[in-house]
Structure 1
Amino acid sequence: MAKVKIIVDSTCDLTEDIMEKYDIAIVPLYVEFDEESYRDGVDIVPEQLFQKVKEKGILPKSAAPSPFDFSMCFQKYLDQGYDIIVITISTKMSSTYQNALVAASEFPQNRIWIIDSGNITTGISSLVTVAGEAAIGGRPAEEIAKTIKALVPKVRVNFVIDTLEYLYKGGRCNAVENFFGSLLRIKPIIGVQNGSLYVADKVRGDKKRALDKMIAKVIKNKENIAFDRIFINNSCGNDDEAEYVKTKLQQELPGVEIVMTKAGCVISTHCGEKTLGISYIQK
């Protein structure tokens, strides 16, 4: 039976420890400032991205890895005797999944399985850790892929953004929503449903109220948290908020592993600084 290699794109926001533990390979997306193109997490990190935003006064655009990018990665690991599982950002948010399918079509069948996570950031990470554990345990790629596909609709992701500005400039909310959201100090709680972002709730007032509401939602559902694992993901500038959320969850959910991760450049491009999210898989 062939060894199994897990490949993800850079929107998964995995920690270095998890990548090393499960020997995961990453194919980066791109962030582009006009004619300048950078590989997410390779040529540019979030701190540099936000500095460029301030200097240039514009937001970058994101772009999917090309089929050629995936082909190069696939060839490397097929040559080493691996079967491959690829878990990508939602196909409704990026062409990454489609480009991976195009690349996989160049290779023999039943060697590469492409999975649309239907999610972003640590919603993807939640699936990747399960796949990684199964691969280490010696399960075949086809079986792992079937398991992960069954878990996709069970992933729960919510995050609080600090400002609507990035979503507005990125075309994910309109000018009226941005204006009144800022005027009324509304902090939206964003969720992922059927592969797309949506406003799960709106909290008026300071951000702590929104964070507390998001925490309460997780605690209320504590009996349904699978694998005893929760991910907390935050972008630049709010490590104190991430620690606050971690402490609250640890107090209420003893025995549940809390994994802290940082948002990469593509997620930061669309959500901005001081974004914080929680994700887990539901039973």
Structure 2
Amino acid sequence: MAVKLVICSSSDISAKKAEEMGMRFLPIPVSFGSEQYLDGVDLFPDEFFEKLIETDVFPVTSQISPYVFEECFREIISQGDTPLAITISSKLSGTYENACVAASEVKGKAFVVDSLNACLGEAILVYHAYNLVASGLSAEDIVDRLNSDKKKIRLIALLDTLEYLKKGGRISSAVAFAGELLSIKPVISVIDGEVKAIGKARGSKRGNNLLTELVDKSGGIDFEMPFSLAYSGGSDVLLKKYIEDSARLWVGHTENLPTLKIGATIGTHVGPGAVAVSFFLKDLV
């Protein structure tokens, strides 16, 4: 009986990548007004950001329903395997709770882990889980390891604009206007499962420097564990500039830096031009 990972599109791991890794991919519903999509199935990052920029309708993401999880779990169980789902933070979405409802319906034959993260922070926990599955650990032991190790994950992101935080009601129009006028670049993080502002800088260069400084202050990157960078929008120019400005962080790893495209779940709020990094700490601080 093998452990089969079930992941959500909120991790920004593509459906194709999930299939290649032998994982089940469940998309989060996204709507632009009356137009309904499934994230990563019929709406991909480049198309999402085109619509986000071009339309006046602010997108809304929904939860994956208990029924979708239960159907997935039962199919995996019928094949003789054990489903283990990893979800977006329970403090950002009801998806974790829905997965738990589905797990209760299959009477303890499925496991669910709350990543307490999102986007690439969720993704690196999935990659860690994949490695644990490959090592032959039981589902119970993998869950224990994930719940312990997820405390070491840090996700830090530099936003290029305040516009979408304003549209999503996260900040006032006055704050957004003042920020854009002064070219303020906010830095956000996921802390205890919630998105919080942890800094700001004037201009992209200072923003990149602040992002690098915050990575250093957090305790340093454990390169023995999964890590990733990510960007939002149709161009990776700002990501490349950040990598150039933070080159000392990546010594010995620049040849094959793992990157993700930020999708709808987090992209709705950060907008295009965001740059993010997520990693496991060398030591828990």
Q: Which of 179, 182, 188 is the equivalent residue of 1:181?
A: 179
Letter paired with 1:214:
L
Pair 1:236 & 2:233 matched = yes
SS at match of 1:105: helix
Q: Which 10-residue stretch deviates more, 121-130 or 242-251?
A: 242-251
User: What is the distance in 2 between the residues matched to 1:113 and 1:75?
Assistant: 12
Aligned pairs (5 A) from 1:78-157: 78-109=77-108, 111-157=109-155
Q: Contact between 1:246 and 1:258, CA under 8 Å: does it hold in 2?
A: no
- Residue 37, structure 1, aligned to residue 4, structure 2: no
Q: 1:217 aligns with which of 214, 217, 230?
A: 214
Residues 31 and 92 of structure 1, relative CA distance in 2, 3 Å threshold: same
Alignment check: 8 A CA contact 1:219 1:249 kept: no
Contact 1:191 1:197 in 2 (8 A): yes
Amino acid of the residue matched to residue 210 of structure 1?
G
Partners in 1 of 2:247 and 2:161 — Cα distance? 27
Conservation of the 8 A alpha-carbon contact between 2:117 and 2:190: yes
Larger displacement relative to structure 2 (134-143 or 52-61): 52-61
2:229 alignment partner, SS class: strand
In 1, distance between residues paired with 2:15 and 2:244?
Answer: 22
| Structure 1: 5+ residue stretches without partners | none
Kindly indicate whether residue 169 of structure 2 is the aligned counterpart of residue 168 of structure 1.
no
Give CA-to-partner distance per residue, 1:43-102, whole Å, 9 cap, x none: 111222233334431211111111111112111111111112111111111111111111
CA offset digits 1:128-180 (Å, max 9, x no partner)? 11110110111111100000001122110110111111111112222232122
CA displacement, residues 100-125 of structure 1 (integer Å, 9 cap, x when unaligned):
1111111021x211111111101011
Contact 1:92 1:195 in 2 (8 A): yes
Aligned to 1:195: 193
User: 2: CA distance between counterparts of 1:166 and 1:11?
Assistant: 18
CA distance, structure 2, for counterparts of residue 97 and residue 276 of structure 1: 26
Change in Cα spacing, 1:139 to 1:163, as seen in structure 2 (3 Å) is same
Distance 2:24 2:152 in 1: 24
Aligned position for 2:2: 3
Amino acid at match of 2:237: D
Q: C-alpha separation between the residues in 1 aligned to 2:242 and 2:219? A: 15
Note the alpha carbon deviations across 1:208-241, whole angstroms, 9 max, x for none: 2212221233245565525254310111134122
Separation in structure 1 between the aligned mates of residue 238 and residue 215 of structure 2, nearest angstrom: 16
CA distance 1:192–1:133, shift in 2 (3 Å): same
Q: 2:127–2:226: 8 Å Cα contact kept in structure 1? A: no
After alignment, is 50-59 or 186-195 more displaced? 50-59
SS at match of 2:257: strand
C-alpha separation in 1, matches of 2:193 and 2:175? 22
More divergent stretch after superposition (136-145 vs 241-250) = 241-250
- Report the Cα distance in structure 1 between the residues aligned to 2:126 and 2:161, rounded to whole angstroms: 29
What's the % identity of the aligned pairs?
33
Change (3 A) 1:258 1:100: same
Q: How far off its partner does 1:20 sit?
A: 4.7
Q: CA RMSD in A?
A: 2.1
Alpha-carbon distance in structure 2 between the residues aligned to 1:214 and 1:7: 31
C-alpha distance in structure 2 between counterparts of 1:62 and 1:68, whole Å: 17
Q: Indicate conservation of the 8 Å contact 1:229/1:258, yes or no.
A: no
CA distance in 1, matches of 2:214, 2:135: 33
Is the 1:87–1:117 Cα contact (8 Å) retained in structure 2?
Answer: yes
Q: What is the identity, as a one-letter code, of the residue corresponding to 1:184?
A: L
Number of corresponding residues: 280
